[in-house]
Amino acid sequence: MNGMETLFPDIYNLAMFQQRTIAELWTPQGWNFIFRREPNDWEVMALAEFLNMVGHFTGLQAYEDMLWWKGNNRGEFKVHSAYRLMDQSSQESPIWPWKQIWKCRIPHKVSCFIWLLAKEAALTQDNVMKRGITLCSRCFLCGETLETVNHLFLHCKYTQQLWRIFMSLKGISWTMPRRVTETLYSWEEAGDFRDVTSTCTHFPISQQKEDSDK
């Protein structure tokens, strides 16, 4: 159930037997999922999406296991398909914004924290849940969606108000990127004031979250 843990972490935490295989959960009558409790209101939609996705499964087939290469439709390894995958991944991966993390004129502890945000490793609720701790998977600021690094520090409606204040003081019209790494990378040619904005925006939000968790 590793795929379930990645795609549906909140539903995975509800599962009673998290380490069972597909063969153990599948019966001739269908899936035999057992949950620890009834889903909360905010978990119903995710549960419905999960059940709809696995509902297309038609059962196990009595075939021997085999290796399947994902680089083409035939499942056969080809050197040119491997090269094409490597080339695509290199083009899609953004350059790591190390200058905006370690070369900024900000306190070292803030640089370390920005690095955690760029790695999406800060202890937001989604990362805590990945460690097996059951939580209410909602942003502590807005309470409207799952709390992730990118949501809490970029896209939460209260965080966006803070961003707008700093940007308006500098007379900037800004469209927020999707991820923290994309945000940092887009600042590389922008100037020192964005280093100050990053410090003043990200770090107070983290302090507020720590105070609320105590």
CA separation (Å) from 26 to 11, 18, 37, 57, 59?
Answer: 17, 14, 20, 10, 7
- What residue segments make up the domains of the chain, in order of their start? 2-54, 65-93, 99-213
User: What pLDDT score does 41 carry?
Assistant: 81
**What does pTM read for this prediction?**
0.51
Q: Give DSSP secondary structure letters for 156-170.
A: SHHHHHHHHHHHHHT
CB pairs under 8 A, 24+ apart, for 129-136? 129/9, 129/10, 129/13, 130/5, 130/9, 132/13, 134/13, 136/40, 136/42
Residues of the chain with pLDDT under 70: 1-3, 58-63, 87-95, 188-214
User: What pLDDT score does 209 carry?
Assistant: 56
Q: In this predicted model, what pLDDT tens digit does every residue of 126-155 receive, in sequence order?
A: 998 888 888 877 888 898 888 999 999 999
- Map residue 31 onto helix, strand or coil: strand
User: What pLDDT score does 196 carry?
Assistant: 46
Average of per-residue pLDDT values in the chain: 77
- Map residue 115 onto helix, strand or coil: helix
Q: Give DSSP secondary structure letters for 49-103.
A: HHHHHHTT-------------TTSTT----HHHHHHHHHHHHHHSPPP--HHHHS
Q: Which residues contact 31 (CB under 8 A, 6 or more apart)?
A: 25, 54, 57
What span, in angstroms and rounded, lies between the C-alpha atoms of 113 and 64?
Answer: 48
Measured at the CA of 202, the angle between CA 198 and CA 204, to 5 degrees, comes to: 120
